[in-house]
Structure 1
Amino acid sequence: MAKYGVTNAAGGGGIGSDEVSVTKEYVLNGKTYVGSDTDDEIGIGKMVNNGTTANQSLNAGNSINIKKGYHAQDFTVTANSLASQTSATALTNEIIGGKTAWVNGKKITGTIPIQNADTDGDRVWATNASNWAGTFNVGVRNGYYLNGVNWVRYDVPTFRPENIKKGVNIGGVIGTWEGWVPTPQDLYLTGNNYARWYTDYNTGAEDILIFDSGQITYEAAWKKSLDIKTTNTINLAGYSKLICEGSFNFQTGVQAENSASMRIYYTKDLGKTWTQIGVIYLSQFTTHTYVEIPFTPQAITYPIRLVISENFGNLGGRVNGSIRRIRLS
């Protein structure tokens, strides 16, 4: 710094304020001086003494305020490396494809493939499926980001009510199958008309004989007989019973003996003549679910006829119910 206020010892005059340019802002706080702003008097400096300032470092986006005033030594401001500011562990195959990120100072682009819905708007197809012990599992695409996907779809065409035991709820599907499996001896099974049964019976106001979707429904009163016939020829060789399963209700007035019957016939001449080969009589006020009509084994192959009769209708009798299965045994 310049020297101020020095007296000329040889007898000359001192240095005046108009001969210097320093002002108080350039003199350390508390130090005296004679300057251009002191009018030849001694002034006191106002420069801030910041003392010792350590070296500084900056991260991206930060700043350091370098204060106005005196600093006792040189110092540096260093920008930290990008790597030190982006410490991370993500790899390209851990970031969605097309998205970028800074990882340890390097800009990387993700490679995870994006899988959009490929069926029904918001579903993807499962890759496979497995099940065991009450669980059902479907496979998903490994290593994909599912975008806009709410469901994983796996088609099981046989997962239907008719293939599940009746009344059993499996995954929200309630079964309707009643446990009957077709055999070669089945002539009719829950709507499957293997022998091509038909009827030409003319029903009246109180008579019903209908081939419904899963059964044959019937009702008759007043000493009526309902009958169904097969279109197909039936080989009776080796069999001795015609078994009917379903619901058979006989409300037959006051007489119990021979009050209702089920009979089996065959024909050799396309229905012109019917020959009875078996009969069973059923008691009154009884509901049956299983009826066996015995017959003498026949070495014949002809169409057959099944007749359900209410024998005492004039006493207020009625027969009704449904046939769900007809088979030979």
Structure 2
Amino acid sequence: MGKVWMPGGGGGADLDIVTAGKPDVLAGKVIVDKDGEPLTGTMPDRGAISTLLGINGSYTIPEGYHNGSGKVTQSIATMGGQTVNPTASQQIVSTNGKYLTGNVTVNGVTNLSAANIKKGVNVGGIVGTFEGYVPTPTDLYLRGNNIANWARITANVSLDSGQITLLEKGPGTIYTYINMTGYNWLVIEGYHNRSAGETKSIKLLKDSASSDSQVGYLDLSSSGAGNYTVAFNVSALQVYARFYLQFYTLMPAVYRIWLS
């Protein structure tokens, strides 16, 4: 049993209780071992280690003495929740290297159903079943389907594949034979690109294209550019006759004409 004899008398200190070895003692510090021999420590003095931790990173804590002031920190950009509205083009929500603090919501597409999509066309995983406009017995013209055989009087009107087009400022005149018997309204649906207040109108004429044959007049000057649906009251015209439609100013598209 090792003992350290203390000068001045008295018993010695029992060194058998010493359990520390070199790795347990701070480097450069000296103690004694069980035999009273000097023992110099080898434990590294790490002081205050600080490190920055990346996303999903890790840090291995080295052995040694730490003074308690070290830190492991993390600096990650954050972003809040996002709402994405679908568009025809690809969109990127920039989340690279960022921590999301909220949810990303992708809004649904309204009216996304097979019945609203052209047959055979895949839109967002929905394959269309719509086969186009189907004329009814009262249709006189429907998106290129010229049921009543409308013909043009003036060169500035074009009977195109999907619409009747007014190529320049009117009057642009078309005509056909119509049996008005039993109907109250001659309805016209189309598009014009004139601002509100600018002169634009449609005239209905019977038997000839001259102004004295006018039997109906619709003024669209109060409406801005956009789609329109207007109707002539034909309840007093219960006859089969040749009728003319005259379009004034630039109303570039007629999509549908029908009786009701």
Q: TM-score, normalised by structure 2?
A: 0.47
Q: TM-score, normalised by structure 1?
A: 0.38
The structure number with the bigger radius of gyration is 1
